[in-house]
Structure 1
Amino acid sequence: MKKKIFTQDYYKNFPGYPSKERLAKARVVVIECVQDIPCNPCETICPRKAIVVGKPITNLPRLIEENCTGCGRCIPICPGLAVFVVNNNYNDKESTISLPYEFLPLPEKGEEVIALNREGEKVCRAKVISVLDPEKNNRTAVITIAVPKEYSGEVRGIRLIRKNP
């Protein structure tokens, strides 16, 4: 059996991953960027300067937790699809995850979908809470789903359940 390396514990070691305390407090961005490449759109778009790449531009993005409101403007701008917003205070049993989505058709609000881990494997079922697809996002929709709290650090994608007509 293949050993999984892309787990929540792996990403916790990078500067874009929020602390356990911050994740428990309120909605916050989770940056799972692990490549030293010249890239900084997340830093540029953040209105609160909560994401810092600095110089050189190949630095990994660093999260300034106290500045982040979890607005999500950084989600669709990331060319690596490595930015998410997690809200562990959605309700008593569920967390929400806002994630980038570049497939068609788009899911619909209220639809049930399959929540996937970083390797594309099924984790659980999820409910679509919102679908944002403004033209300014250049065809990267932001889908917010509700999942059981215990999966908020594991779920990073979705698959539609719909049957083809």
Structure 2
Amino acid sequence: MRMLAENGIATPDDLAQVVPPAARLARGPVAIAECFQNIPCDPCYHSCKQGAIKEFTDINQRPQIDFDKCNGCGTCMSRCPGLAIFVVDAAYGEQEALVKLPYEFHPLPAVGDVVTAVNRAGQAVGEARVVRVQNAQAQDRTAIIWLAVAKDLMMEVRHCKVKGVG
């Protein structure tokens, strides 16, 4: 397996450091910060009204989420310049989970569209149904797409491709 530094794709060991415990995932929406580099960046901390993103002692450290405080609102997602924060809701349905992801492409998918669900490596892993599209001016051109996906894909799906485009 190639490493994150070589190909930009998080390894299972990388992900184990940032994924909430299964019991927390089962309780409802929660943010996951897949930010794996120490860089000078902290907009996620300043945007979190719940206090769920722990205060940085050094602006170069990676965000740490207090999963018990996080309500999965997703405010931090559109503030992350690296598009590295996602919200997963395993309690969304019996067969489906909800994945909220940042999206900065055109055209935006529409509610009800069936899109191709894509993993961290850019590979298609299945289909997803667009449940909601948030694109308010306050989000500064970073839309948040809500995707209903098969539960077994909720930790894999990190992007989507509008069918018939590109």
TM-score (norm 1): 0.92
What is the match of residue 143 of structure 2?
141
| Aligned with 1:71 (options 70, 73, 89) | 73
What is the match of residue 83 of structure 1?
85
CA contact (8 A) 1:53 1:60 kept: no
In structure 2, the CA distance between the partners of 1:53 and 1:38, relative to structure 1 (3 Å rule), is: farther
Structure 2 residues not aligned, in runs of 5+: none
What is the match of residue 116 of structure 1?
118
CA contact (8 A) 2:3 2:11 kept: no
Cα offset for 1:13? 3.3
What is the match of residue 54 of structure 1?
56
Cα offset for 1:91? 0.7
What is the match of residue 12 of structure 2?
9
Q: Deviations over 1:85-126 (max 9, x none)?
A: 000011100001000000011000000000000011000000
CA contact (8 A) 2:52 2:65 kept: yes
CA contact (8 A) 1:37 1:58 kept: yes
What is the match of residue 29 of structure 2?
27
Once residues 159 and 95 of structure 2 are traced to their aligned partners in structure 1, the CA distance between those partners, rounded to angstroms, is 20
Q: Counterpart of 1:90 in structure 2: which amino acid?
A: Y
SS in 2 for 1:130: strand
In structure 2, the CA distance between the partners of 1:163 and 1:9, relative to structure 1 (3 Å rule), is: closer
TM-score (norm 2): 0.91
CA contact (8 A) 2:54 2:64 kept: yes
Structure 1 residues not aligned, in runs of 5+: none
SS in 2 for 1:92: coil
Q: Counterpart of 1:79 in structure 2: which amino acid?
A: P
CA contact (8 A) 1:76 1:140 kept: yes
Q: What is the RMSD of the two structures over their aligned residues, measured on CA atoms?
A: 1.8
Aligned pair count reads 162
CA contact (8 A) 2:130 2:147 kept: yes
Q: Counterpart of 2:100 in structure 1: which amino acid?
A: S
SS in 2 for 1:12: helix
What is the match of residue 42 of structure 1?
44
Q: Counterpart of 1:100 in structure 2: which amino acid?
A: P
Please tell me whether residue 152 in structure 1 is matched to residue 126 in structure 2.
no
